[in-house]
Amino acid sequence: MLVDIGANLTHDSFDTDRQEVLDRAFATGVTQLVVTGASVAGSEDAVSLAQTNNSLFATVGIHPHHAQETNELTLARFEKLANDKNVRAIGETGLDFFRDFSPRQTQISSFEKHIELARRTKLPMFLHERDSHPTFSEVLRPLRDSLKDVVVHCFTGEKEALYSYLDLDCHIGITGWICDERRGGHLIELVKEIPANRLMIETDAPYLLPRNIRPKPKSRRNEPQYLAVICSFIADILKVPDEELARQTTANAQRFFDLPTP
């Protein structure tokens, strides 16, 4: 049993074969998936998709790339969507100072408003952080105690950032980035520093196809079926059986997102 805590299943690359993608994921042991909402339209689509399958759940939020979409109307819409039983977290929100597709102050303002939304709805937070430490921690820290659980998804940062987020009682999501020998090598040591009860795994599909898949897929599109590859890679690093890591990360995800247990 595996839980993919972050899959962008409403991405248009899945429009022609979404059900087949899900079938392949289920066949490889993925039993539940959290569909990421990263924009206003994307969040609505994520909720709609989750309503079609009991194994799917959704987040609602605005990615920092689209921070300029955040306003009182969109936040009110998210607050209404949060009443849907399939919505299990607020996000994807946070800060991205690598791309800077939105002005940094606009990103910070959007992040703060999402934090307030999470406080009101009492839902956990699904957060994006890239190259924005320590500002990310500085925004989150003052209100962390008033929030439910928090996960920094797709963690790709350095040791100082990891320790800061663990000190803030955050969970950490690891993707196939760790399988990339060109840019993810530093995560091999860092993943050992994540407490077992704080670690979760995800594909972030269709992005970040694990580079260690053999034979290499013809398509560069990532899919939830490859979550097992990520799980096995991390299990090898931690020197535990694949089944043990799957059991632990699944328990963490089900507790974090309040998912039903079979």
Q: Could you read off the pLDDT of 212-252 as tens digits, one per residue?
A: 998 999 899 999 999 999 999 999 999 999 999 999 999 99
| Confidence check: pLDDT of 262 > 90 | no
For the segment 3-14, the average pLDDT, to the nearest whole number, is 98
Superfamily for the 2-256 domain: Metal-dependent hydrolases (3.20.20.140)
Q: Tokens in use for 180?
A: 């990339």
Which backbone phi and psi does 30 adopt, to 5 degrees? -75, 115
Q: Could you read off the pLDDT of 141-200 as tens digits, one per residue?
A: 999 999 999 999 999 999 999 999 999 999 999 999 999 999 999 999 999 999 999 999
Instruction: Give Cα separations from 39 to 70, 132, 154 (angstroms).
Output: 9, 20, 18
Distance of CA 180 to the CA centre of its chain: 18
In the block, which residue shows the tokens 């909402």?
Answer: 37
Q: Could you read off the pLDDT of 46-102 as tens digits, one per residue?
A: 999 999 999 999 999 999 999 999 999 999 999 999 999 999 999 999 999 998 899
